[in-house]
């Protein structure tokens, strides 16, 4: 599919349903991969039929998959699917972002050989797309249901992102267990986040108190970025980085508790 001619950076704000051809292309690739899996693995055929093959488009399959992932004895899969579907219909940018997220996973994760496994099995992708739904609902004034979704996503996937947090396109959450993102944080486009990352405050402030992660940042495993400091473009943050990161395009790495930053000799490719 030549990586679909769609790179995560090609789908940027403002988010609109202006990528229908890209959606169609990814959807066709996803169905092809899953049909091949169903043909060779009989035990998965029913699951794959329900998850993807019975659906007419990517948006429908996404809402269905999200509903089944988060359902419990009180909140049914059908109700959650309807909630996600309605949010997607009202805000089509959710699908635009989900497409870019899948492309980001396929591009950046060496373990991802296609789109099927991330779509079906990557909990970082599932948590992120539920966050996008919750963020749209929160922005629309439905804060109670957004808080419910945040809680369920945290319970099921171990990823806790406040529904007020805006997240850019092409974001890759790798594994994701233990990620915590506070209310006033911002996550830009083409960001990669590994497990146990915290974007937090000091606990002593109110108002705008969380980090702003700019485009192209990699937040390494167990990194903790505290307070209202921007993680600048082309930055890699490692555990536990609390310093203010420099405002230029060179690559800086922070390592260790209360890290001081040293300049890398080369620029980010």
- Please say if the pLDDT value at position 131 is more than 90: yes
pLDDT of res. 209: 84
- Tens-digit pLDDT profile for residues 41-60: 999 999 999 999 999 999 99
**Domains of the chain, start order:** 1-159 (1.10.3130.10), 174-269 (2.160.10.10)
| Contact assessment for residue 196 and residue 180, using Cβ atoms and an 8 Å cutoff | no
Residue linked to tokens 């390494």 = 220
pLDDT of res. 237: 56
- Tens-digit pLDDT profile for residues 175-230: 999 999 999 999 999 999 999 898 987 776 778 888 899 899 999 888 877 766 55
Residue linked to tokens 């419990």 = 72
List the Cα angle 231/250/227 in 5-degree steps.
Answer: 15
Residue 252 CA to residue 265 CA, distance in Å, equals 9
Return the structure tokens found at 61: 């399959």
Residue 134 CA to residue 153 CA, distance in Å, equals 10
Stated pTM of the model: 0.81
Residue 80 CA to residue 92 CA, distance in Å, equals 17
Write the DSSP symbol of residue 53. I
Average pLDDT of the chain is 83
Residue 34 CA to residue 38 CA, distance in Å, equals 6
DSSP annotation string for 177-205: TTEEE-TT-EE-TT-EE-TT-EEE--SS-
- Please say if the pLDDT value at position 19 is more than 50: no
Provide the 10 A C-beta neighbour count for residue 68.
16
For the residues 91-112, what does the mean pLDDT come to?
Answer: 96
Residue 258 CA to residue 90 CA, distance in Å, equals 43
Give buried/exposed letters for 174-202 (b at 16+ CB in 10 A, else e): bbbeebbbbebbbbbbbbbbbbbbbbbbe
pLDDT of res. 223: 82
Q: Which distant-in-sequence residues (6+ apart) come within 8 Å of 17 by Cβ?
A: 92, 93, 95, 96
Please name every residue paired with 161 in a beta bridge, in sequence order, or none if there are none.
181
């Amino acid at each position: 599919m030549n990586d679909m001619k769609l790179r995560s950076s090609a789908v940027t704000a403002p988010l609109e349903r202006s990528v229908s051809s890209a959606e169609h292309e990814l959807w066709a690739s996803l169905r092809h991969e899953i049909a091949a899996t169903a043909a060779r693995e009989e035990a998965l055929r029913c699951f794959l039929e329900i998850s993807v093959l019975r659906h007419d488009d990517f948006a429908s399959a996404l809402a269905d998959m999200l509903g089944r992932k988060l359902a419990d004895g009180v909140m049914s899969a059908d109700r959650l699917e309807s909630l996600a579907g309605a949010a997607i219909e009202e805000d089509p940018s959710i699908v635009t972002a989900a497409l870019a997220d899948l492309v980001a996973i396929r591009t950046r994760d060496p373990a991802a050989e296609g789109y099927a496994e991330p779509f079906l099995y990557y909990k970082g992708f599932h948590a992120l797309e539920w966050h996008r739904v919750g963020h749209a609902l929160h922005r629309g004034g439905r804060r109670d249901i957004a808080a419910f979704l945040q809680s369920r996503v945290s319970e099921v996937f171990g990823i806790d992102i406040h529904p007020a947090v805006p997240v850019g396109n092409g974001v890759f959450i790798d594994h994701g267990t233990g990620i915590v993102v506070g209310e006033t944080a911002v996550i830009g486009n083409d960001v990669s986040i590994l497990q146990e990352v915290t974007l937090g405050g000091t606990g002593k402030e109110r108002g705008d108190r969380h980090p702003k992660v700019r485009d192209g940042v990699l937040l390494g495993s167990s990194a903790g970025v505290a307070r209202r400091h921007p993680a600048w473009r082309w930055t890699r943050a490692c555990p536990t980085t609390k310093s203010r990161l420099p405002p230029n395009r060179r690559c800086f790495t922070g390592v260790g508790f209360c890290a001081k930053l040293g300049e890398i000799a080369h620029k980010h490719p």
